[in-house]
Amino acid sequence: MNKSCQDLRPMLSDYLDGILERKERSELEDHLQNCPDCQHEIETERQVINILTCLPYQICPERVTQKIEDATDSMGKPYPYKIKRQFHFDFYHWKPLYVGFALTLIVILILLKPFRPHNDGIEDSVSQEDLLKARNQAKWSLAYIAEVIHDAQKQAVDDVLMNELPKTFRKSIRSTFSIVKGEKK
């Protein structure tokens, strides 16, 4: 087998399938005219394809057909195909219903409001001054809590910087921010 055979033999299958490009096909056909080895190979493969394609149909025995017919007769008609209507839980599909329901609910609440008992207990017993005092007290308390939290956070950060970090880091931080114990910079 010469080099040209080695190059062209992978194309033989594509040639037989009829999917080879025109240029390659003509190249292969030229080669086939002069190469009995490749000719033999292609002929053998063509014969294999012919035999595979022409494998005869086997006749199915009548008793098998009869058995199938008997079985289908005894089973009766197959279950008819029905398209089941499925419930789609889709908001856009049911949007009008939701809107209607919400509007009905609002109307019912409006209608029921006059029958609600009037609440005149707490608001009248507390004076405006007391309310103002209580509000200010709450404001100061919140400010105090915020300050405590802020201090605690700062303390925690300082602790980490001073104790948890490696020595080299601490040195570099000190040189940058010049942290001294007891002072806040």
Partner 1 sequence: MNQNKFKILLQEQRNRVFSYSCYFLRNREDAEDVTQEVFIKLWKNMHKIDKRKIVPWIIQVTHNCCIDRVRKRKSVKETPKYVSSDNLDKIMVKTEKQADPELSFESNETHQILLSALHTLPERTKSMLLLHYFQGLKYKAIGTLLNTDAGAVKVAIHRGRKMLREKLTPHFIELTERCSDE
83 three-state secondary structure: coil
Site size toward partner 1 (CB under 8 A) is 31
- What's the length of the chain? 185
- The CA-based angle 165-167-172, given to 5 degrees, is 90
| Paired tokens of 5 | 């055979």
Q: Give me the least distance between CB of 64 and partner 1, in Å please.
A: 5
State yes or no: residue 71 binds partner 1 (CB under 8 A): yes
Segment near partner 1 (CB under 8 A); pick from 75-83, 99-107, 127-135, 166-174 = 75-83
d(CA 18, CA 162): 81
| Choice from 18, 36, 78, 121 touching partner 1 (CB under 8 A) | 78
Phi and psi (nearest 5°) for 24?
-65, -35
Binding track, positions 107-146, relative to partner 1; x by CB under 8 A? ----------------------------------------
d(CA 47, CA 31): 20
Q: Is 75 in the site for partner 1 (CB under 8 A)?
A: yes
Residues in contact with partner 1 by the rule CB under 8 A: 13, 41, 44-45, 47-49, 51-53, 55-61, 64-65, 67-69, 71-73, 75, 77-81
